[in-house]
Chain A
Amino acid sequence: MLMPKNQNLIVERWDYRLTFAKEGRARYISHLDLMRTMQRAIKRAKVPIWYTQGFNPHAYLMFPLALPLGTDSRIEILDVALTEDIPFDKVVEMLNSSMPEGLYFVNAARPVMKHTEIAAAEYDIAAELSSSADEMLAKWEGFISQDEILIEKRTKPKKGRKQPGVKLIDIKPHITVVSAEADGNILHLKLRLPAGGEFNLNTSVVTDAFFAYAECEPEQIYTTRTKILAVNGADFV
């Protein structure tokens, strides 16, 4: 009879909330790939990661909020558990010893809030246009002052049907504009959008809807996530 491999289970564990950056070339790593990448980084760093119990033990890693492909951030959260109590700055130093370009840790701390408390995130969007952004800024004002902003959202196929349905939803109430500015050819938008388990709104949904409204194709859009916020409006910690 085969026995579970991880029999000498270490029950004692210390929880860490790590903050990391994902930028430059690393912004093209998908969420699923990031999981693997971090697992390997932790293994290389010889940080004593806590393994789950069972026939197929695996390193315990938890990302409470996925970062969309192509978005930069310096405030991403990764929760891990270790089998030893190691000082926070030491953990960061160990992890940063062998990271790929564009991925690095900036902080470690004990988790304070629960994942379910995440409610929103803030983003800086820089849309590079082929001409002056002043006109687009005016269009943005028009776009955002509409009574409703309808987008098509694909729904899961109904029982017994293969085709996914399409449903119109109004995203207007979910968008909070922190600021909107024109700077040469660049349109800067600072938005707060819902995030977390309840309801998620990607920046690309908003920008796609806007540029369709404005009948314009931007040269390039750079997006940075700047804040992850809890239900009470404070930074998620």
Chain B
Amino acid sequence: MSLMSLENLSVRRAGEVVLAPLSLRLEPGECVGLVGPNGAGKTTLMRAALGLIGASGTSALAALSPAARAARAAWLPQAREIVWPVSVAHLVGLGAAARGRPETHPSVAAALARLDLAPLATRQANALSGGEQARVLLARALAQDTPLILADEPLAGLDPAQAIRTMGLLAALAAEGRGVLASLHDLSLAARFCTRLIVLHRGRLVADGAPAAVLTDALLAEVFGIRCTRVATPEGLMLLPEGVIAR
């Protein structure tokens, strides 16, 4: 059964079509990268799929009750809000609480361990560095122990090492049988770690498939307005943006 299935989902805002009707399915084992220029509608797509904003068409996820949805999908928003001076352990525990589980549930300790947060467990979460906070919030999503994880720009503001590690984790989670949908700007990392890429351009879905097949020169020029050099490495396809194409 699909983890996420969208049928003619579209979003209008102030009379304008922000997301044109699109349909797609996400299966267990897939690590899907959602790419596209700024304003393409990536965040809108994910929020509409979750039912956080109004949309026409259907999304199986949005139709679930809040509790069932929280058990099916964990959402990692782009805005990294931590309002109160809580400890890291408590914050990660909120993920388990979303499932009605206590802070002592094994999923919490597992999430802390997986993101190397054990030494920081008693620290105040919003006093940590940006990168550390990102790890804490990702651990929360993990502690929610859901089959599907949706992440909005999880790599924003991370140093190269942490970016690679985060992508590695997301890919590993998919390989373990979960489904991951993450919006990304770094095309190289997307190509390297994602099993499938979905490209959005001005609210439309313009490509959907394996990274090598999707990231053609034509698409890069048309959608992103850039010229890239391709390098094949043992780790995977590497894209080096060389210049901007004047439109």
A, B from the same assembly: no
Binding site for B on A (CB under 8 A): none
